[in-house]
Structure 1
């Protein structure tokens, strides 16, 4: 079960963006497995994608089309990643774009495809192509929840959130959904994210926002250290809100919108971790007082990816030596271990590189038994600080992934 994650259903509609969905039978499930987003001509679209060299065909096409034209449609299929499928897989993804473009009278470059599921298998085009018209013919603004279900794979529940704020007498709305539960590690995390606002934002500025916010959220989570072939996070701005269009960071709306979007990005990223395959713990790893951000992230990810740390978390075993060992092997140069302090929440475990005089096993075990906790490492060598979020490693994670294709 997810760690302290509730199902969100009361989404704000985003004027200028409609959603359609259907079940094509890509996998044997009753959930929708085809989802489309329809964007008004006024909309701007930005995106960030996986850095895996074996990036899937839809990722390649989406990156290309995003640069070439004003996006009008996004189409997502679940159950099949269309990755590792060569030229044929690329042609399949392009054929899907062509089908949407022909049906709606737009150019093929105005359609972005997305896929998620099993790697190495061609898409069942005989199921997907006939299903596309059904999704396109029934687009509505109030079906974000259905879309959140339609992009799930091994997720145990849908993930989404909404927010609103007032600016110059106008209500600005944001809604977003994400999926992911395994093969989660930057850059990016197997995940998809779709976030939309009705604020008007110039495309280049929207891309800067998407990149910066994604870097601090979806690129700060890890469940198992595996970077997917299909990761994509899209930020859409329909431009229908009656406020001045954002073209500069100096405009009053910019920081307000950025702060609100950051909350949504973080919530959706954290939701992926909370629903990690087999997860029983939601763990923040905060590394502070480093020389630079890169150093802090190196240490944080070494801890987050350590099987020994993750299994200790699952067992609620305050075996803090595993954490110190991970810090020590992180590859940070000229590390002065006598300056390092280590905490579980507010319990000081190690002080100046050795067991803290005040530490008791009972105190450490009490924190480790919590469903949510923070591992805090104070390196004592600078001002940089970074936080990543991860899970424990349970028996269920092995079972889920051993049985995934069967």
Structure 2
């Protein structure tokens, strides 16, 4: 282990720093080359918790000197037999295949492909975590198949004669330190991904930075968005749960994607309502820019709904309609809740007002309304609906909407 000690020490440092897996693989591969191992290809892979993917796969080659990242889904992982799948399914800790004899029948198509590329030797390792993929998350696992969670890796060489016994010994010495470093980096990345998915990128980042005490927060200025799905109660009563959920997700696709596309951040879902913000001021957009972006997002969401509704009509499904309100002002941005259960969100009079402002979409028969605080910064001509009293709000607000906007863009 003496010759691998410097590399092991380096891997420990990467684990302490939470270095990203791709960087770990790049650094490790370069150090193995420097140590005299004739390495042409190295790979690291592991299962992940992610809203869209189920595994991460990193491939380094001597020709590129870069680790290429590939996100994979369950069907990709299970579709074709491979050394990695075999090790994860059986808990096998290592596999080695000599590829330099063209007459030897190899057990995996992947190895035939490596041999066709000139590879002479292949060594793979698996370090299990002692946990298993949840079958409720992986319902398509074949009966009897258990997916062991852990870090899987491999090394390949085109050198005649393949790896020597000293190379293999070093690979074995390094498998646990590599896996520890990768697991730390992967957990940090998964935490950031999940917090971003559930709280939004900025809110998730704040939580990871340690802003987790109740009452901890700051005053920010932002355009606030509130939208609400129309007719959801009736829809839930007359359709199956699956149809209702599909409709709700289609609505979220339109609204959320539009907000994100225009630099906004979705803060939370409130039933079938969406609360989002477009911050402005210090370190963010100028106020006018934030208003323009929020307004463009509103237009975009309604356009997306029109497109979705054409598909809904063609399939004989119910139309999807919503109301959207935009308001601007000061917000308290931070933690609120009980000592046992916290929420990182925005609050204050601006939030209360935008929720009540959105209810005017139904009263005024329009899908998009704006307060004067937003309308004053827009270049597009707008129609004023006069001053309106909002429930529970002491002051009246002047309300605007785009000229000629109607139910074709999303019924209120």
Structure with bigger helix share is 2
Same-fold status (TM-score > 0.5)? no
